[in-house]
Amino acid sequence: MTNYKETILIVEDDFQIRNFISYSLRNEGYICKIVSTGSRAINTIANETVDLVILDLGLPDIDGIDVIRMLREWSEIPVIVVSARDQDREKAYALDLGADDYLTKPFSSTELLARIRVAVRHMKRRESVKKQSVIQVGGLSVDFEKRIVTLDGNEIHLTPMEYSLMSLLIKNRGKVVTTASVIKELWGPGYGQDTQALRTLMAGLRRKIEANPAKPRYIMTEIGVGYRMVEE
């Protein structure tokens, strides 16, 4: 495991972007495969060893969104979207379909590498531990069997809704959970897009776990898209 370096598939039709992504990935020791169309991407993932996909949405043949949809029917491979589409709607859509992360162009390679590390960790965690009864993030820990949440060793009391929100985010730590999917998970489908209740719930939860809500340590806001629990 120690020397294993992940194979990353870059799906991108712009030559220059492909070049610098593969350069910085190889610099970090990853193995790179490069394709420029959606159909070749699906073929490669199905037939070769690939651990992670970096996917551009504006591909010449199939829309990247459809690539995610097709992929998710049979594969759980981490997908990081890099796209020139800056609309929140597209972002949330890709995440809800199962993309692990979304980077809007232009981005720096440092940022991309950080996201790749998170996604890889995520994948490994998924492989090694099937079901964790206790999840720990920094000083925060959630015991799912006992339904106890502690912060720096002290138990904190959450309402049932706050507990549900907390478990949803901590189980998906490192990943953006979209506003729509939080609402659907907590209030059920048909509740629509009423964000007011969620904002209020989130404010209540943050007041219990964050020292300073203007500088959150645990739950980050992805404006217009959703929330993300930090990894450590």
- Tell me which residues touch other proteins (CB under 8 A): 14, 16-17, 19-21, 23-24, 27, 58, 84-88, 104-110, 193, 195-196, 199-200, 202-204, 206, 213-216, 220-221, 223-224
CA–CA gap between residue 51 and residue 94 (Å, rounded): 19
Minimum distance of other proteins from residue 108's CB (angstroms): 6
CA distances, 29 to each of 44, 52, 96, 110 (Å): 20, 14, 30, 14
Minimum distance of other proteins from residue 133's CB (angstroms): 31
> How, if at all, do strands 101-104 and 134-137 pair?
unpaired
CA distances, 84 to each of 81, 105, 107, 222 (Å): 10, 5, 10, 17
Cβ proximity to other proteins, 168 vs 220, nearer residue: 220
- Helix 109-128 to helix 15-27 angle (10° resolution) is 60
CA–CA gap between residue 34 and residue 15 (Å, rounded): 10
Cβ proximity to other proteins, 33 vs 217, nearer residue: 217
Give the strand order in the sheet containing 154-156: 134-137, 140-143, 148-151, 154-156
Minimum distance of other proteins from residue 94's CB (angstroms): 15
Cβ proximity to other proteins, 24 vs 37, nearer residue: 24
| Count of beta carbons in the 10 Å neighbourhood of residue 92 | 20
CA–CA gap between residue 205 and residue 191 (Å, rounded): 21
Cβ proximity to other proteins, 107 vs 144, nearer residue: 107
Cβ proximity to other proteins, 117 vs 124, nearer residue: 117
Minimum distance of other proteins from residue 179's CB (angstroms): 9
Minimum distance of other proteins from residue 70's CB (angstroms): 23
Cβ proximity to other proteins, 138 vs 213, nearer residue: 213
**Contact assessment for residue 8 and residue 54, using Cβ atoms and an 8 Å cutoff:** yes
Minimum distance of other proteins from residue 166's CB (angstroms): 17
